Amino acid sequence: MPDVNAAAASSSKILSVRDLKLHYFTSKGVVRALDGVSFDLAPGETLGLVGESGCGKTTTGVALLNMPSPPGKIVEGSIQIDGAEIVGMRDHDLRRSVRWSKISMVFQGAMNCLTPVYTIRALMLETFREHAETARLEGAEAESLLKHYMNMVGLPEHVLGRYPHELSGGMKQRVVIAMALFLEPKVVIMDEPTTALDVIVQAQILNLIKALKRSLNLSYLFITHDLATEAEVADRIMVMYAGKVAEIGTNQQIFGHQGPVHPYTQKLLSATPRLHKKVSELAFIPGAPPDLIDPPPGCRFAPRCSFAKEKCRSQEPRTTALQPDHVVACWKAVEDAEYARA
Amino acid sequence: MFRIYILKRILYGALMYIVMVFVFSTLFNNVADQTQRSQIDEQIRQEVRTLKNVTEQQLQKYIEDRRLAKLNQYHLNEPLPSRIFWRAVRTISFDFGNATNLKASNGDRLVLGIILEALPKTLILFTTEVILTTVLGVALGLYMAQKPNGLLDRVSSGLTMITNGLPAWWLGMIAIMIFSYAVPLFPSGGLHSNPTPQGLAGFIDFLWHLSLPLLTLVLLSVWGTGYLTRNIVLSNLQEDYVMAARARGIAERRVLFGHTLRTSLPAIMTLAVLGLFSSIAGNIIVEGIFGWPGIGKLYFVAVQANDVPILMATLSIETLFNMVGFILLDIIYGFLDPRIKVGGKA
Amino acid sequence: MNVRDALEGLRDFWREFIKVKTGLVGLVILLAFVALAVFGPSIVPFPGATDHWRDITFWQDNPQAAPPEWVNALPWVSKKGVVSSFLSNPKLSDEKQESGVVVRTCLFTYPFSSDEPPRDVVVRFEGEGQVPVDVTVTRPDGLSAELYREQLDIAAGVLQRVSVTNNCAQSIIEFVRAQNEDLASGLDADLIKPTSILFSRIDPSLANNPTMLKGAYTITVTALLLNDQSRFQNPTIVVSGHVSGLLGTDVSKRDIFTGIVIGSRWALIIGILTSLITVVLGVVLGVIAAYFGGVTDWLLSRLYELIYLLPVLPFLIVISAIFKPSIWTLIIIICLFFWTGPYKPVYSMALQIREETYIEASRALGSGRMRIIFRHIIPILLPYSFAVMALSVPAVIVYEASVSLLGLGDATIVTWGQVLHDALGQGAVISNLWWWVVPPGLTIALMGMSFAFLGTALDKILHPKLKTR
């Protein structure tokens, strides 16, 4: 079976992550938050990132900007955005040419990611000034660009003159989305953009995201723990567990009648109640994610997996492509597939 | 919106001040009464001396009439609440009467005059101290926040602990011993040299005299301000919007100053200046030690001369000063934090 | 909460506490002060010194404004001054003669090794009746000088003093005369320094530039007890030198170390008492305001603001100047200002605790309000209030010292602030008497520092981890 690494060299990928390892060097030990994560993102594609809290979703997001929060460091691996290698790039170059201009991020909890002492306009203009492409913009030109993006996210123009605390949660989220877009980056990371909002606003924001995706042909990395949202927006889904990739598949492969092949993904799906199905009992996954300072040998999900065998507990499963576009790291899944083929 | 905020604060301050003056008036009622009565007697004695050609009887009548008139003027014959009330009113309108023993440099006995003469000197010392301490302290704190647990951080934190319990006036005594007597670099006190030079030389002479007390005060307080700044900035550095600013490609320097410091500013300003206000205590005695002729030294001298009117007046002025400072601080804080300035909850 | 749980809790706390280094430093310093206050009185140069700080006659034989002893050990001091010492426990021997007279001999040994003679040598004793007294000094060069021979009429209970400088000038000249007629004739009883001659070589340099005779000197004090009513007891000798004591002496000849010892006793009392009262007041009021809410809350909050806005020291000064309170009244007044410190955090914490469900449950079970306050809320806040207690001590000590510095302190006690008041008023700053100025301020700062360290450490450990909503 073809190994996923061989398929990587395709130049049509806008984002290419290979074997990314990000560790936090704390006083209690080295936390291996990301331990060999690989995935691709094609232009115009939305890749959804799912997993429990602490599995490494947000860490992946900030890693792509090469901004791990201290005491974190990227120790190994490669991140290629639009052909440029991010890992090892100097901070100065990252600021000038990568951050925000090539890849931007819509943050989790838009509540607090706007500096409270500046107006929206001031914040946006500041970002313009720091980037070569937009630094030349002055006065009326800049203003019209700002207004354009306000309109794009469905906000009235007077929002520009407001301070963050004067805006509602939904408005702030829209502002943050606008700010992520106005330098027209190729990749936008969305980190739980709807989690802190109420249901109605959530729906509005999701619609906005989908509309923008269509109109701007952006690639999204959509991070959330909410499977239902993923099902709505993502083209492909990547499931992470304990700092490693469990399964990557298309929306159809994961949510379709075939269903996912990794035991963890299966459990995740069954833990989510469906409106159209009668649910007598909600399944849950017993146990807790492993300690990332000293993870168990072998498959990290083995302690909680009902299918775990000897091999699972001693050997780490390799990421294998069951089909092009469907990748999984699980001994059972691979065996089942071989069995089915035989 | 903000204007209303300012107004409310000022009203609040005024109200509090009035309450305090009433408290003082009640507490010091007896002593103040006595002092006033003896001052009245003294005054009448003075007047009597100028009278000529009067009989004993006329003299007595005169004395009694005058005394009654004076007592009524100051409401001293009325029951307690009335006396308290009128004294408070006088204090609020800065009618402090005459000093018992002290005089202003022009020989005037009016307490208000004496105080007004001393006040500017205190203001100069205090204001320069506040400015220097704040500027240096904030800069120090910023450095410390950028390299937490670095050498500077640990040394400064240690110094903060030590200077916490160190009386400013004692440091002043040591400073004088070292820098005015052992190694004569600075004058040991006073405002000017004797004879006072004129013009630019006079100004420099003044600065030279200002140096040692100023240095002593600043050296003591700067660590506290630095430590405060460091903590506030450090906690603000963890905030999401700082990370968001970095993600947007903003240069680190701008993130530190424009985002972190700017947001920390209201808190830093308030706490730093508040801290300095509470060190007025140290300032009072420092003035005494350095012979700096301000309100502090006035306290010193008044205590030694047991001049009650001056003591009470200086207390009221100090309190007013304090109050004005607090209210000003509230207003500045509100101005610096848009969350208050433009309404909404902070 | 039974005894075993409490002990267990203490053990856990101690284990946590040791981890914080600054806390340990603070504790060590504090214990040093406690030791000073307790054991200090036994190591002062003069027994009973700590009770006689203001007694002028007690200190009369001490040198005035003398630097500490250890100044001699400093490398840049060339001429080692005489260390003031107190000779007691002489070798006593009584010899009864056939006439019934008892000859009491007291032998003192004094090793002299300085480059300068002592300022004075004073023989002190008590007695009663007609007692002839003789003082003779035997020098290392074998020569004996009879310094004093008088028949004294001693009153009981009155300290008798024989000062070499004041009483023995003539005898000294006689002593010199016995060795060298010429030298003696050049000496004038009013102009010579008797101790200088007593402790120098008898040679031509005697008059202008005497050479010190170093060695062991024996001072013999002989008293004749003529009858049963005669008494002669407690002979001691004070050698008044140029350096004295651990911390030198002040202008009133008082040993400064003694002042520091007494001061530490009072500093501890003031600091601990004030913080105790303050915290109790603050905690109780804070909890009451938070729990009862309404008018009580409103009133207490206004009171809090009022006190918070008042400038403390100016007020303290004026109150002290006008009413001249005792130290206890002063402590109470300070407490009235300082309760606002613990009040605020306790208030906000109590507000949070009030919303906890177990409080609700308690109410549902029928617990009275007071019971809830004292059984549930205060025990959580109690450990934390120890931290607050420690943290408020430095400021209190400085306030008291400030008030004392102005001369407004309680004159019946001795505090470090008062010592500094004396120093300032009697020109220690101008005359560079650093040993008078530095130690009291240093002790103020050190004690403040120790409480600050302790408080910070306690705060870190004991701060209640309340749920943040």
Residues of A in contact with B267 (CB under 8 A): none
Residue of A117, A121, A183 to mutate, testing the B interface (most B Cβ within 10 Å of its Cβ): A117
Residues of B in contact with A115 (CB under 8 A): 241-242, 244-245, 259, 262-263
DSSP string, C289-303: HHHH-HHHHHHHHHH
Residue B69: exposed, middle, or buried by beta-carbon count in 10 A (0-12, 13-18, 19+)? exposed
Note the pLDDT of residue A273.
67
Kind of pairing, strands A72-81 and A320-323? unpaired
Note the pLDDT of residue A315.
82
Residues of A in contact with B250 (CB under 8 A): 95, 126-127, 130
Residues of B in contact with A116 (CB under 8 A): 241, 263, 337-339
Residue of C20, C312, C317, C334 to mutate, testing the B interface (most B Cβ within 10 Å of its Cβ): C317
Residue B117 contacts A, CB cutoff 8 Å? no
CB A185 within 8 A of CB A178: no
What is the average pLDDT value for chain A, to the nearest integer?
81
Note the pLDDT of residue B282.
67
C425-465 tens-digit pLDDT: 888 888 888 899 999 999 999 998 888 888 888 887 777 66
The most distant pair of C-alpha atoms in chain A lies apart, rounded to whole Å, by: 68
H runs (alpha helix) in chain A: 57-64, 91-93, 120-130, 132-135, 139-152, 169-181, 199-216, 227-233, 251-255, 263-271, 310-314, 331-341
Residue of B241, B242, B339 to mutate, testing the A interface (most A Cβ within 10 Å of its Cβ): B241
**Coil, strand or helix at A245:** strand
Residues 350 to 409 of C: which have CB under 8 A from any B CB?
A: 394-395, 397-399, 401-402, 405-408
Residue C453 contacts B, CB cutoff 8 Å? yes
* DSSP 8-state secondary structure symbol assigned to residue B53: S
Minimum distance, in Å, between the CA of residue B133 and any CA atom of chain A: 25
Residue B1 contacts A, CB cutoff 8 Å? no
CB C457 within 8 A of CB C17: yes
A109-164 tens-digit pLDDT: 566 888 888 888 888 888 888 776 666 777 788 888 888 888 888 889 888 888 88
Backbone angles phi, psi at C52, to 5 degrees: -120, 30
Residues of A in contact with B248 (CB under 8 A): 99-100, 104, 126-127, 130, 179
> Which of the residues in chain C have pLDDT under 70?
1-2, 357, 369, 372-373, 464-469
Sheet holding A29-41, edge to edge: A29-41, A15-26, A72-81, A84-85
Minimum distance, in Å, between the CA of residue A294 and any CA atom of chain B: 27
Closest Cβ–Cβ partner in A105, A118, A163 for B247? A105
Contacts with C427 (C-beta within 8 Å, 6 or more apart), sequence order: C251, C433
Q: Do C322 and B308 touch (CB under 8 A)?
A: yes
Taking the CB of residue B129, how many other CB atoms lie within 10 A of it?
A: 24
Residue C318 contacts B, CB cutoff 8 Å? yes
Residue B337 contacts A, CB cutoff 8 Å? yes
DSSP string, B199-217: HHHHHHHHHHHHHHHHHHH
Contacts with C465 (C-beta within 8 Å, 6 or more apart), sequence order: none
Residues of B in contact with C398 (CB under 8 A): 165, 167, 281-282
| CA dihedral sign, ordered A4, A10, A15, A20 | positive
* pTM for the predicted model, two decimal places: 0.78
- Identity at B55, one-letter amino acid code: T
Closest Cβ–Cβ partner in B167, B171, B173 for C402? B167
**Coil, strand or helix at B265:** helix
Per CB distance under 8 Å, which residues of A are interface residues toward B?
A: 62, 65, 67, 69, 91, 94-96, 99-101, 104-105, 107, 109, 111-118, 126-127, 130-131, 163, 165-166, 179
C371-396 tens-digit pLDDT: 766 777 777 777 778 888 888 888 88
Residues of B in contact with C444 (CB under 8 A): 165-167, 170
Note the pLDDT of residue C268.
92
Per cent of chain B over pLDDT 90 is 3
Residue C314 contacts B, CB cutoff 8 Å? yes
Q: Do C407 and B164 touch (CB under 8 A)?
A: no
CB C160 within 8 A of CB C144: no
Residues of B in contact with C440 (CB under 8 A): 170
Note the pLDDT of residue A6.
42
Element (H, E) at C268: helix C256-292
Q: Do C452 and B161 touch (CB under 8 A)?
A: yes
Mean pLDDT by 10 residues, chain A (342 residues): 43 82 83 86 88 78 82 85 84 81 78 84 85 71 85 87 85 86 86 80 84 83 84 88 86 80 82 66 70 80 82 83 83 80 71
Closest Cβ–Cβ partner in A112, A117, A130 for B338? A117
Residue C307 contacts B, CB cutoff 8 Å? no
The rounded distance, in Å, linking the Cα atoms of B170 and B219 is: 13
Structure tokens at B223: 């660590």
Residues of A in contact with B239 (CB under 8 A): 112
Chains A and B touch (3+ CB pairs under 8 A): yes
Residues listed for chain A: 342
Distances (CA, A) of B255 to A64, A96, C417: 20, 15, 48
Residue of B12, B170, B220, B235 to mutate, testing the C interface (most C Cβ within 10 Å of its Cβ): B170
Residue B159 contacts C, CB cutoff 8 Å? no
Note the pLDDT of residue C467.
46
CB contacts < 8 Å between B and C, how many? Answer: 133
Note the pLDDT of residue A276.
65
Q: Do B315 and C315 touch (CB under 8 A)?
A: yes
CB A222 within 8 A of CB A47: yes
Closest CA to C443 of C419, C467, C459: C419
Contacts with A278 (C-beta within 8 Å, 6 or more apart), sequence order: none
Contacts with B293 (C-beta within 8 Å, 6 or more apart), sequence order: B117, B118, B121, B190, B191, B287
Residue C334 contacts B, CB cutoff 8 Å? no
**Coil, strand or helix at A238:** strand
Q: How far is CA C33 from the centre of its chain?
A: 11
Q: Do C441 and B20 touch (CB under 8 A)?
A: no
| Complex ipTM value | 0.86
Hey, which bits of C184-284 come out as E strands? 215-225, 231-240
Residue B166 contacts A, CB cutoff 8 Å? no
Q: Do C314 and B304 touch (CB under 8 A)?
A: no
Note the pLDDT of residue C32.
92
Chain C residue whose CA is closest to B300: C406
CB C270 within 8 A of CB C33: no
Q: Do B262 and A115 touch (CB under 8 A)?
A: yes
Q: Do B342 and A112 touch (CB under 8 A)?
A: no
Residues 264 to 293 of B: which have CB under 8 A from any C CB?
A: 278, 280-282, 284-285, 288-289
Closest CA to C433 of C286, C295, C243, C297: C243
Minimum distance, in Å, between the CA of residue C422 and any CA atom of chain B: 13
The rounded distance, in Å, linking the Cα atoms of A163 and A177 is: 16
Closest CA to B182 of C78, C434, C438, C439: C434
Count the alpha carbons within 13 Å of C49 in the hemisphere toward its beta carbon: 27
